[in-house]
Amino acid sequence: MEEKPKVVILCGGMGTRLREETEARPKPLVEVGNRPILWHIMKLYAHAGFTDFVLCLGYKGDMIRDYFKSNNHENWTIEFADTGEKTNTGGRIKRAERFITGDNFMATYGDGLSTVDLKALYAYHLKHGKTGTITCVHPYSKYGEVALAPDGHVQKFIEKPVLKDYINGGFHVYKHEFLDLLGEDDVLEHKPFARLVEQGQMMGFRHEGFWHSMDTWRDKEDLNAMWASGKPQWKVWKD
């Protein structure tokens, strides 16, 4: 039986586009509904049965370590990998290599929420047998859309519509051998991804449902408004 994979979460960035919050705390500890967004991400994985986490720490990493040492009431296994304050995304995973055991591992960023079916994602990865799988999502527009009739009449305004194109939405799965392609200064999404594509070793898992990242203050406010509504789409777990 395939062992449960480790879940590697990138928690070390400086979050410069959310400077109002990240001057005082690392971005993964910025709160949505009085809980760090990192907690919400970990709840998504735990709901799917993946509870063995490796947190790649960097900027203000001690605050993340201290938070979970005081607040890990979920029966999760958490290992903390110090990966450097200014290390790039691929380098962080490489520097956490000694914590990453097993034939496959999952990985994601510390700022994105989704309803992606993580069990199905992992099963898809095992089935196709390639080195890497990324979840492909539809981004939402940062701007409202104007629907125009052929003669120029404005028909309606659409507030921040979901776009048709796919982007990398995080929620990745890799064979352990992927670590051999990473250097300690690599940006995950540049050379390592390009190499997998060139080798025909990357697959995309299409997710058509909810996905929302927290890049800016407005994103944070949007996610908190969703939580306050009582029906945040990403809350697939039961209290």
What is the rounded CA–CA span in Å between residue 168 and residue 220? 20
Q: How confident is the model at residue 70 (pLDDT cuts 50, 70, 90)?
A: confident
Threshold 0.75, pTM exceeds: yes
Mean pLDDT over the full length of the chain:
91
Q: pLDDT-derived band of residue 2, with 50, 70 and 90 as boundaries?
A: low
Q: What is the pLDDT of residue 202?
A: 96
Residue 153 has pLDDT above 60, yes or no: yes
Q: What's the mean pLDDT in 81-108? A: 95
Looking at the predicted structure, is the pLDDT value of residue 1 above 60?
Answer: no
Q: Render pLDDT for 181-194 as a digit per residue (tens, 0 to 9).
A: 999 889 999 999 99
> What is the share, in percent, of the chain residues with pLDDT greater than 90?
74
